[in-house]
Every structure is written in C-alpha cells, then in structure tokens.
Amino acid sequence: MNQFYKNLALWLIIGLIMVGLFQAFNGARALDRNIVYSDFIRSVNQGQVSEVLVQGDNIRGRYLNGKVFQTFAPKDPSLISTLRNKGVRISAEPAEQNLWYMNLLMSWFPMLVLIGVWIFFMRQMHVGGSKALSFGKSKARLVSEPDKKKVTFKDVAGVEEAKDELVEIVEFLRDPPKFTRLGARIPKGVLLVGPPGTGKTLLARSIAGEADVPFFQSSGSGFVEMFVGVGASRVRDLFEQGKTNAPCIVFIDEIDAVGRHRGAGLGGGHDEREQTLNQLLVEMDGFESNDGVILIAATNRPDVLDPALLRPGRFDRQIVVSLPDIKGRLKILQVHVKDIPLDDSVDLKLIARGTPRFSGADLANLLNESALIAAVRGKNSVEMADLTEAKDKVLMGKERRSLVLSEKEKENTAYHEAGHALVSLFTPGTDPVEKVTIIPRGFSLGSTWSFPEEDRYSENRTYLRNQLTILMGGRAAEILVFDEMTTGAKQDIQSSTEIARNMVCEWGMSDELGPLAYGKKNEQIFLGRELSQSRDYSDSIALTIDKEVKELVTTAYDRAMKLLEDNRAKLDLLAHALLEYETLDKDEISTLLETGEVSSALKKKFENIRNEASSEPSSDQGAPPRTQKGGPRPSSPDLAPGQA
C-alpha cells in the first residue's frame, strides 16, 4: 500500500508539472483579449484606451478599466497621430523574430515530455525485484538484522545434535581455507527435516547470525507463478545474487512446494512447477563448493521430494530436527522465559516433564498463554497455576463452563472419566494419571490426562494392550453402572480400533498372522502414484485381520469390565468426588482412594471458591438445585446453579 501511494504522488507531481508548462507557454496569450482593428479605433476615439504597445504589426494595449487587449494593425499612417490626439501613452518595440524551430519546439514540447516520462517508467518496471513487470526476478529477501536482534546458536535450544552438525557450515563460512587446504568439500546443500514448529527456520537464521554473512531468505511458493518460465528465471536470479554476495547462505523455506516428485498428477509432467524444479537441479550442479554459496532448505514433508533433489552433490546432508526430549524442552523453556517474570512457585522441570511431544513452537505458545492469563488476572508475575491452566487450554481447549448439561449427562460423564482413571491406576505398566476433570473443554465433555514419567520412543505389546484397556474403561463403566451405552465413547472406540489394527497390520504383533505387514497406505495423487489402495493379501487374510482386531479390543473391554467390577466401590467414590469437585489431580485421587475422603486442602480451596461465587449476584436464581445420589450437591465454582 505504501508503494501505491508513492506512485500516486509521483503521477500527481508529473501532472502538475505538465499543467504548469502548458500555462507557461500559453498563459500569457490566453490573458490577452483579441479585438478587431475597427473596435480598437472606436475605443481610441471614445477615449477608453490608456496605453498601447506597438510591436511591428501587433498592438497590445490597456483600457482605462485595466483590461488588456491585442489586435493586428494594417498599414495606417494616421494611427500614431490619432493616438497622440487622444492622449494615449505610446510604447514601441521591434517586431518579434518567429523562428521556425522555436515554433516547432513550442508545439511538440509537451508531447516530448510525455514520451520521456513513459520511457522512464517502462525502464523502471523492468529493474528491481519489486517492480510491476519484473516477473523473472527473485523474491528472495536479504535479511540484515541489527546486532540486538541477531539470532545466534544460543537462542536455539532443544536441538543440540542439529546445531553440532551446522557448526561445520559456520566454520567453513568463517574460514574457508581451513577446509580447502585439506581437500575437504563443504556440502553444497543442507536439508533441514522435522515436524512443524521444531525450529528449522530459526536454525537457518542462527547460522547466518553466527557466520555474519548475507542471508537470502525465500519460500518454495515464491518461485511458482501463473506465467510459464517465471519460476526458472527466479531460480537463476537467486543463485546469481548468491554468487555476487558470496560467501552467503541461500535459505528456501518449505521447499516441498517446488521440489515435489516430477511426473506427478493427472495433467502430465510439463508444468511450471517441474520446470522450476529442473532449473533448481541445474543450478545446484552448476556452482562449485568454493564459491561460498550454501543452500539450506527446510521441509516437514521429505517423503514427497524428488529423489534427484536429495542425491549427494545437491543436498549432501540431511539434518533431522526432531521433537525435543525432556532436557531439550527444559532448555527451550529457559530460553523463552527470559522476558517473562516468574513466581517462585514455578517449576520448569515439572512443566517440561508434563509436556511430552511438544515442539518448540508449542512451548513458546504455552508460555505466552500463561502470561496472557496472568495479565488478565492482574498479576505481576506468572505463577504455576497459570502455567497449568495454560497447558490444559493448549491441550484440550478453553473451559466451556457455559455449556448446560443435564444431571444425567454429568453423572454419566463422571463415571466415564472415573472408569478411565481407575483402570489406568490399577493396570500395571501404564502412564500415571495426572488429572481427571468433567469440565467440558473443546469438543470433550470430560478428560483424563496421563503423562509418561520419561520420554518414550517405542512401545511394546504389553503397553499397547494396557492402553486398549484404559480406552475401554469409559465404556465399561457406563455399561456397569447404567447398563446403557452413550456416544461419549466415540473417540475411545476410534483410537482403540486404530491401535489394534496397527498392531495387526503394521507392527506384526498378532500371534496368528505373524510378523508381517498387510496393506499399503493410500498414496497422494500429487505424487503421481496409484489413486486406489492395493490390497496385497487374500480375502481369508482380511477375515483373519478383522478377527484379530476385534479380539484385541473385546479382550481389553473384558479386562476393563472385570477390573471395575472388582473395584466398584472405588469407582462410585471417584465418580461422586468428580461430581462434587469437578477436577481432581493425582495427589487428590490418591488421597481419596486411600482414605475415602478428599484432602482438607481441596475442601478448603473449593469452599473459598464457592463462597466467592455465592457472594456475587446470580442471573439464574430460579434454576433448580443439582442433586446426586446420597443428597444435594453444592454448586460448581464460577458457575450458577444448574450449569456445567
């Protein structure tokens, strides 16, 4: 929009100049009033003319009222005497020499100016990457950050192995002879591979910050346009800029947008994207390693890249930027809390342990949400309670306390979540239960959260069977208590079925079928592969697969039902506590199951919250009180009676 206003202002200035030139050449004559000679003589005889200027055959004069005029005088010998007799002031000058070339210049000068302005703008349109007609110019942006904003390796945490591999790149850019004297060849291209949010782009920026070299940043989608040949031209221009500013780093983010498999799709392989990819392959082969130009690309879809792009000599090195482990998450949290005031109650180690499979971006978002929560509540620092609430919000969504549930639905939800928690607690080898709640969040009416005590990268068959049992705990509790099924177990059934099918078809955990993989996943159409899934097993094997999957799930259901039947009293106790207090953490659950009562701290906390809520005027005075088995139950915190 700023460029638009600049162009508009420029055109306005040009227009004003043209108007001024026109007025300068024609304004003076336009002010004169042309009259016939007889009217001029009549005005002289009537004494209306004050002065005249005689210039050859042209006469210019002024009336007594100040108006000017001009006329052409014939050869009249008595004119001068007539003017003298009437007292007219007479001035005389020699006749103007009207040169032909001056007349031509005066006539064509405005047109010449317009032609010159047009040529100037057309030349400007073809120069520079941001001009209107410069389609073939690269849109890469030269990143030049000030020292206070420069990103270095100390600003990147949780990816220590990736940083170690990139140190070689930095050392080469700082001191190329150190490597070339030994015949070493630095990789031409480095491909950063990893899930979204793990810090691939940040790593590339840190390399530029450490090496203190020009850093050209572009995206894969910036090469492909609707015009044929534009992408290839932009690739050529990008590498030309890199060679001009060598040593430098050329970074292409989301390279899968332009580097997908060739020959893909239904419309043939000669499209603009493939031409761009071909040019990229040629350019990566065209420059030598001692040019000091290093290409770094990032993607989270390495499986869709063309094999020719990944061969040695192009992208020589692939660096995996994986999700951080518990130590990495702790370091990431320590980096992001530099500008966030923390309360003494905050334990970053506990937050790092409770956030498995979180990326760096997820952790940054978690801290930002906690800071927003603390700011809304008027706090001067972020407390542990704010971080816990922010984690719950990020994982499950914001609390939907305005959602009105019937007493039957709340009771069913309480027993459902109690079933999950109790089966998890009494099944050995499972992840410990961190929290159970019946407060609706997102699309869920309740949640049971379990986090591993340490990072886990593979699971055995026993652990997976235990997970199936925990998933079936909610449905088993509903059948046991109410002898009825609800749709609340939809997600549990889908997850358990998927796990069981993977155990049979992908992980080879079926005793009857053995360690074999069955079935191929559907391939995407843009990869140029088959549209339909090919089944590489017989109909009898398909029946066996269905039988094995069903057996795994039903066995888990029977285990969950047997466990809940044996601990029915504890199931009722836990469900009633959830109906009373809505949310229980692991310590409160442990105290409840050991003593039969919740802790005094939870009672006191809930009593304070309830007193604060009752002191405020309620908009639902006529709502019926909520009841449960065994007598009336107090209202939930922050809610009017009858709401959940």
- The residues annotated with a catalytic role in the active site are 417
- Output the CA–CA distances (angstroms, integers) from residue 124 to 118, 132, 367, in the order listed: 10, 9, 48
DSSP labels, 525-537: GGGT--SSPPP-S
The Cβ-side half-sphere exposure at 134, using a 13 Å CA radius, reads 16
Q: Which of 66, 64, 69, 67 is nearest to 35 (CA)?
A: 69
Q: Which long-range contacts (CB under 8 A, 24 or more apart) does 352-356 make?
A: 352/326, 352/327, 353/326, 353/451, 353/453, 354/391, 354/434, 354/451, 355/329, 355/391, 356/326, 356/451, 356/452, 356/455, 356/456
CB distance 430 to 560 below 8 Å:
no
Q: Which of 383, 259, 349 is nearest to 309 (CA)?
A: 259
Q: Which helix (H) or strand (E) holds 253?
A: strand 248-253
DSSP labels, 441-485: BTTBS-EEEE--SS--S---HHHHHHHHHHHHHHHHHHHHHHS--
Strand partners, 305: 260
CB atoms within 10 A of CB 230: 18
What gap in Å lies between CA 353 and CA 355, rounded to an integer?
6
Q: Which residue has the tokens 């020699």?
A: 94
Q: Which residue has the tokens 């816990």?
A: 388
Type of residue numbered 334:
Q
Q: In this structure, what token pair is assigned to residue 296?
A: 């770094």
Q: In this structure, what token pair is assigned to residue 88?
A: 């007219």
Helix segments in 86-144, DSSP class H = 100-125
Under 8 Å CB-to-CB from 311, ≥6 apart: which residues? none
CB atoms within 10 A of CB 41: 18
Using CB atoms within 10 Å of the CB of residue 249, give its burial: 0 to 12 exposed, 13 to 18 middle, 19+ buried: buried
Q: In this structure, what token pair is assigned to residue 419?
A: 């079933």
CB distance 406 to 412 below 8 Å:
no
CB distance 30 to 70 below 8 Å:
no
Query: Residue 439 has what DSSP assignment?
Result: S
